[in-house]
Structure 1
Amino acid sequence: MATARLLLLLTVVAAAAGSCFCSGQEAKPPTPPPPPPYCGSVRTAVEAHNIIGWKTFPADCAKYVADYITGDRYGRDSDVVINEAVAYAESLKLSGSGKEVWVFDVDETALSTVPYQAKHGYGVQPYDHANFLQYVAGGSAPALQGTLRLYQRLLQLGIKPVFLTDRTEDQIAITTHNLLSQGYSSWEKLLLQPIGLQTSTQAFKTSERKKLVDAGYIIIGNIGDQWSDILGSPEGCRTFKYPNPMYYVA
């Protein structure tokens, strides 16, 4: 009887010790559900301009778009665009007039606002204009390295870069500083939107490109992350759409 009681006591003690050890471990957080399967299709439709006028990327695709921007895919997709643009530029026979230009958008084309977007859901939160202006005013937007590579190759080839942005003219000093600090230099023009201009981005950029052509420039290339950057005659001899599923500008 004594032996049986001793065995029972040892069993209880061992069980108690085991339960204490387990209870001392941190509980693992639940695994978040995977993004809905349609998120990739939404991004494709956005890039193809089949979905237009949207305000935010679908909220239940927050993880998908964050993973896309911060992972390897965004860089690979961007490199495909840039490699094609470089190959096209290198294939051209220039006139020698010095009037061939390539038009560049700024935000999400030459400079990245991903540090700002990371704090605002990568496009699943509504646009906050005041906060975005604060980011721009900091002048710390990093260069998109693929675009910088294209830019530098164009200079080597004798093609003059022109920046055309819907940033407003009161931001010219900080924009100039930011571009120079990130390795962009020797551009032909930096064109910003007049303060208070009541028109769409596409209409403004179309008008500015027409002014370039009227001044004798030949727009041989045009690159931007928004369709409003590259639509509207004169678009240029060839256009390139840089990937951006985070926001839409008309």
Structure 2
Amino acid sequence: MKTTVLIFLLATSIATSHGLEHGIDYKIHPLRLKSGSGGHYVKGITCSSWRVGVEAHNIIEWKTIPQECEGYVGNYVLGDEYREDSKVVNREAYFYAKSIDVIKDGKNIWVFDIDETTLSNLPYYAHHGFGVEPYNATAFDEWVNLGIAPALPETQKLYNKLLSLGFKIVFLTGRPQSQKDITVKNLKDAGYYKWEKLIVKDVSKYKGKTAVTYKSNERKKLEEEEGYRIIGNIGDQWSDILGTNTGNRTFKLPDPLYYIA
């Protein structure tokens, strides 16, 4: 009940601000849980160790979070630690970007994923549960189509710094073409007001293909057909940063909510 009330308050806040210009300060912290620990869940493995295994890509192809770890994962992603972990990744990305002598020909790009990288779906997961149930495509699409996902604050800071350094921004997402317009609106409302390209998935072309294949092919087009140089590449899934044409350096944001191959 307490979580539901907090979700309502956040949704009300977002709805109130939604029509404003870029720069909205969407809030995530008000959804914070009050329970859940990193205690043992199976064969003596702790939930915190499970999360480390996920982030290190040692635990792969998992479909759901262990049920015993839902409270732990929810508490992590809605709390300070998730923000701190995101801050470390984005800070290192900035330090790297700052070290690059940007050639002023407009061809140096930085690739960003969208879900759980630039935009956060935490309000959705706080309402529907933290990944112990199978993925519900219909419910998630309904959430995306609202266009009210808040920005991940630390990633947004990196985005702004990269623009100031002279990098062009490319968003490469697994969202389908049918969601392009609402994604554009959501990005702008959340403070991502400028980019070079927004690449969405042609579902008919990539039917049955993995995310690694899709994103590799699209990055290859950027570099080999359009002449861009991918200096940096950041995402929450390993499939965002594996494959070909990954860029000069990749950065993996934390995400123990789901796994995309």
TM more than 0.5: yes
Aligned partners of 1:35 and 1:60 also within 8 Å: no
Aligned partners of 2:118 and 2:155 also within 8 Å: yes
1:45: Cα distance to partner?
0.4
In structure 2, C-alpha distance between the alignment counterparts of 1:221 and 1:33, rounded to whole Å? 35
Asked if 1:123 corresponds to 2:131, the answer is yes
Q: Secondary structure at the match of 1:219?
A: strand
Please show how residues 94-133 of structure 1 align to structure 2 within 5 Å. 94-133=102-141
Amino acid at match of 1:249: I
1:44: Cα distance to partner?
0.2
In structure 1, C-alpha distance between the alignment counterparts of 2:184 and 2:49, rounded to whole Å? 37
Provide the residue aligned with 1:201 in structure 2.
211
Please show how residues 151-162 of structure 1 align to structure 2 within 5 Å. 151-162=159-170
Which moved further from structure 2: 196-205 or 51-60? 196-205
Aligned pair partner of 1:138 in 121, 146, 153: 146
In structure 2, C-alpha distance between the alignment counterparts of 1:111 and 1:178, rounded to whole Å? 9
In structure 1, C-alpha distance between the alignment counterparts of 2:149 and 2:242, rounded to whole Å? 25
Aligned partners of 2:176 and 2:202 also within 8 Å: yes
Please show how residues 3-152 of structure 1 align to structure 2 within 5 Å. 35-37=38-40, 38-152=46-160
TM-score by length of 1: 0.85
Asked if 1:246 corresponds to 2:254, the answer is no
In structure 1, C-alpha distance between the alignment counterparts of 2:38 and 2:92, rounded to whole Å? 31
1:34: Cα distance to partner?
5.1
In structure 1, C-alpha distance between the alignment counterparts of 2:76 and 2:140, rounded to whole Å? 21
Q: What number of residue pairs does the alignment pair up?
A: 219
Aligned partners of 2:119 and 2:151 also within 8 Å: yes
More helix, by proportion: 1
Aligned pair partner of 2:235 in 224, 236, 242: 224
In structure 2, C-alpha distance between the alignment counterparts of 1:96 and 1:177, rounded to whole Å? 29
Amino acid at match of 1:233: T
In structure 1, C-alpha distance between the alignment counterparts of 2:252 and 2:128, rounded to whole Å? 23
Aligned partners of 1:170 and 1:195 also within 8 Å: no
Structure 2: stretches of 5+ with no match in the other structure: 1-34, 41-45
1:123: Cα distance to partner?
1.6
1:36: Cα distance to partner?
2.5
Q: Secondary structure at the match of 1:223?
A: strand
Aligned partners of 2:111 and 2:171 also within 8 Å: yes
Provide the residue aligned with 1:168 in structure 2.
176
In structure 2, C-alpha distance between the alignment counterparts of 1:121 and 1:50, rounded to whole Å? 24
1:233: Cα distance to partner?
1.2
User: What whole-Å deviation, never above 9, does each CA across 1:21-72 have from its counterpart, x for those lacking one?
Assistant: xxxxxxxxxxx88553310110000000001100011001111111111111
Aligned partners of 2:36 and 2:70 also within 8 Å: no
User: What whole-Å deviation, never above 9, does each CA across 1:141-182 have from its counterpart, x for those lacking one?
Assistant: 000011111111111111000000000011110000000001
CA gap of 1:33–1:81, structure 2 versus 1, over 3 A, is closer
Aligned partners of 2:110 and 2:168 also within 8 Å: yes
Identity %: 52
Structure showing greater radius of gyration is 1
Amino acid at match of 2:245: P
In structure 1, C-alpha distance between the alignment counterparts of 2:133 and 2:126, rounded to whole Å? 11
Provide the residue aligned with 1:4 in structure 2.
none
Aligned pair partner of 2:248 in 234, 237, 248: 237
Amino acid at match of 2:233: N
Q: Secondary structure at the match of 1:165?
A: strand
Structure 1 residue runs of 4 or more that deviate by more than 2 Å after TM superposition: 32-37
Amino acid at match of 1:101: I
1:120: Cα distance to partner?
2.3
CA gap of 1:33–1:55, structure 2 versus 1, over 3 A, is closer
Structure 1: stretches of 5+ with no match in the other structure: 1-31
In structure 1, C-alpha distance between the alignment counterparts of 2:36 and 2:201, rounded to whole Å? 43
